[in-house]
Each structure stands twice: as C-alpha cells, then as structure tokens.
Amino acid sequence: MERRTQVLVVGGGPVGLLAALRLRQRGLDVLVVEQNEHTTARSFAAVLHPRTLALLSGLGSLDPFVWQGHAFKRVVIFAGGERRAVLDVPAGAELAQGGLTLPQNVLRSALEQALSAQGVYVEYLHRLASLADDGSEVRAEVTRREPVSAPPSRRGHVEWLDVETISVRASFVIGADGRESTVRKLLGIPWRQLGPARLFGFFDVPHEPPAGQNIELVLGAEASAMYPLHGGTTRYTFELDRAPTEPLDAEKLRELRATRMPWHPVNRESVEWTSVHAFERAWSERFGRNRVWLAGDAAHTTTPLGTQSLNVGLREARDLANAVADSAPGRNVEPLTSGYAAQRELEWRRLLSLGEKPRLLPNAPSWVRHQAAELVAALPASGEDLDEGLSVLGITLP
C-alpha cells in the first residue's frame, strides 16, 4: 500500500499533535502515525507555562483545561532549609491566572479533538520503520502492527506482530517521537547526554485543605518540588539518590517530606499514585536536516522540575509547522535551516547552560550563586518569562 501526504508527523504525543494541528491550520495535508494504542489511562501531570497557555488558547474549546486543570500564580523557592524567594507567575492568557497543572492525557485529548475537527485522525498502531530523503521528497516505511498476548512468563510485556507495511511519500517529515526518537536515529544524529541521569519519585496525594496556588521548589543536593493539581490533589516530586528497593508508598512520602519539606504538616493521608523515573539533561546535536526535522523530547530532555522540554517542545511544534508551511510551495528549506534550526539551537544552549554559563548580577544573594544552573532548569518558564524570573533572582542568561 502507498500513501502520499505533504507532511508525515511521527509521534502522537502532545508535540506531534500540536504540529499536525498547526499544519492543518496552514492548509497542509498531514498524516500522523503513533506506534502505540490509543489510551485514556491515568497519566502524569503536565505543568503548562503561561506562554504555553497563550499558545494553546487559539485552538478552540479548551473547557477540559478549565475543569481538569489547576491554576498556579506563584513559585516559592527554598534553599538551605529556608524560604528564599517568591516569584509571581505572569498571567497566562484567558485560560488561567498564571500557569496551569493538568493531566497530560487531558492535554493530548484536547489536541486530538481539535485535530479531528480538522478531519485528521491519528493512525494508532503505526510505527515508522525507515526513511529516505532524496532532497525533493521523503520516502518512509510505516509498519501497521498489532499487540499479541505475551507468554505468562512475560506478563506485562507487550509483543507486537507486524501486519502490513505502508510506503509513505511525503514532502516533509516531523519527528515528534520522543526521547527514543526513531527519526533522530534514522538520521544518524548523535544524542548528547549532559551529565548523569537523575532519578525522581512522584507521589499524588489527595489533600485537605486544597493545595492553593503556589508551586514550591526546594533546591539542594537533591531537588524536590510540590505542585497543586486539580481537585485538591498535590503532586510531590523528590529527587532520589538511588533506585528504591520497595515500591513508593505513604510511609516513604512522609519520610521524604519530613526531611525535605518539614513545613508541610505530616498527615496520615493516603497516596493515590506513585512513579519513579530517571531524567537526563540531553539534546540532539542537530534539529534535523533538509526535509526531516525534530521537535519536543525527540530533540531534548531536561529535569521534570521546570517542565521545559514539554513547554518549549509545544512552541517548537508551532514554529516547525510554520517553517514547513513556509517552505512547502517550493524547494527552499531556508525557513527550516537558518530559521527553525538556528533558533532552536540558541534557545537550548541557554536552557541547558551550554557554552557561556548563566551570569550573576552583583546583587545576587549567596544561595543563588550556588544554584544558578539548577534555577535555570527548575523555574516553570521559558523565553522572556524565564529571563524575567531569573533577573529577579540576580541571574542573566547569555
């Protein structure tokens, strides 16, 4: 079977869906392939920065954001066991007074619905297998696959059966296929890891009284954070020095909170959901070439504290879609090479503190001097909002 499309988007995560939506809004044909099944399973929380909310507010009905999201207005920073600073979060368009925490599946569903309203349906269980870019078009092979039940000895493990290979001819390919990006690997672009991966444990705790409108960041040898979620639930995030030998539970939460956030009352509450995951600061040496480009976690990852990979990734989705639309009529890929790629590299050099380090203003307090690079990654902001928040703390980015 052969299919033709103007743009093949690989990955049905938030970044791929937003890129596809923007491409449709610019009048291009788009095909979105996602290797996994559609799922509405509970997902981790996304922390959306005010700039991201402004970007999303043009998409149509975002009622689910209002009834399943929780607005936050301030970031309270602790270091060395003391409360050091309170930053106001800029207003985030009409969706929220500040930023918003939201289950990531709600974000995905809202984007998918907006996309289906444009007549595009995600092709689930379709996996990109190969790519060849001849300079004027890209030929890709996509495999349609089905899950088969694994033997009892491998319960929980999914095995796949390839049932069909589809040849896709596209003018452009967007690789929004996450950390393990097949697109990046097929292009042979090296993935540069910047230091060791850091392990974080997550706890969602139903709370009484509701968690309020502050995010808390606790900096130190191991970082911690608290984010209010919808319905009075609170997300605690703790960096761990080693992989836990027992599953995370309410007892572990009490222990971590007593040592890292002793100002939080030690209640006997239950824990609704826990998870442990390693995060690395890493980026792709290039953002793509010619007719194949990357956005989102396919091109960078960072700590979960400031959630910059997702938020900047959503901006990339919009900018990449616009650059592709500007390049599409002819063969001039200039908006991609010197526009999109150059800007992406500049922004991520700053966010990952590559090259020139963050500078300290003379008025920077001593606790900031020890935490400058961590603050750049941990504030839930990017672009001018990040610059503004950092300048209040006495830090400037080159």
Ligand X SMILES: Cc1cc2nc3c(=O)[nH]c(=O)nc-3n(C[C@H](O)[C@H](O)[C@H](O)COP(=O)(O)OP(=O)(O)OC[C@H]3O[C@@H](n4cnc5c(N)ncnc54)[C@H](O)[C@@H]3O)c2cc1C
Q: Which residues are at the interface with ligand X (CB under 6 A)? A: 10-16, 33-36, 44-47, 104, 127-128, 176-178, 182, 275, 277, 296-297, 304, 307, 309-310, 313
Nearer to ligand X, 15 or 386 (CB): 15
Nearer to ligand X, 34 or 394 (CB): 34
**Contacts within 8 Å (CB) and 24+ apart, 61-64:** 61/113, 62/95, 62/110, 64/106, 64/109, 64/110
What φ, ψ does residue 102 adopt, rounded to 5°? -160, 140
Residue 386 DSSP SS3: helix
State the nearest-atom distance from the C-beta of 246 to ligand X, in Å: 19
Nearer to ligand X, 73 or 235 (CB): 235
As given in the structure block, the two tokens for residue 14 are 């938030």
Nearer to ligand X, 96 or 368 (CB): 96
Nearer to ligand X, 46 or 110 (CB): 46
What φ, ψ does residue 339 adopt, rounded to 5°? -90, -80
CA distance 338 to 42: 40
Residue with tokens 């990006």: 181
DSSP 298: G
Nearer to ligand X, 35 or 234 (CB): 35
CA distance 46 to 361: 32
State the nearest-atom distance from the C-beta of 129 to ligand X, in Å: 7
State the nearest-atom distance from the C-beta of 396 to ligand X, in Å: 25
* Residue 378, number of CB atoms within 10 A of its CB: 23
State the nearest-atom distance from the C-beta of 71 to ligand X, in Å: 15
DSSP 296: G
Nearer to ligand X, 175 or 394 (CB): 175
State the nearest-atom distance from the C-beta of 301 to ligand X, in Å: 7
State the nearest-atom distance from the C-beta of 310 to ligand X, in Å: 4
292-294 and 159-175 as β-strands: parallel, antiparallel, unpaired? parallel
How far is C-alpha 42 from the geometric centre of its chain's CA atoms? 17
State the nearest-atom distance from the C-beta of 330 to ligand X, in Å: 29
Nearer to ligand X, 12 or 389 (CB): 12
Residue with tokens 């392939």: 33
CB within 8 A of 382, min separation 6: which ones?
A: 49, 51, 308, 311, 312, 315, 347, 351
State the nearest-atom distance from the C-beta of 369 to ligand X, in Å: 28
**Contact, 205 vs 234, CB < 8 A?**
yes
Nearer to ligand X, 110 or 368 (CB): 110
State the nearest-atom distance from the C-beta of 43 to ligand X, in Å: 8
* Residue 169, number of CB atoms within 10 A of its CB: 13
Q: Where are the beta strands (DSSP E) in 256-356?
A: 273-279, 282-284, 288-289, 292-294, 300-301
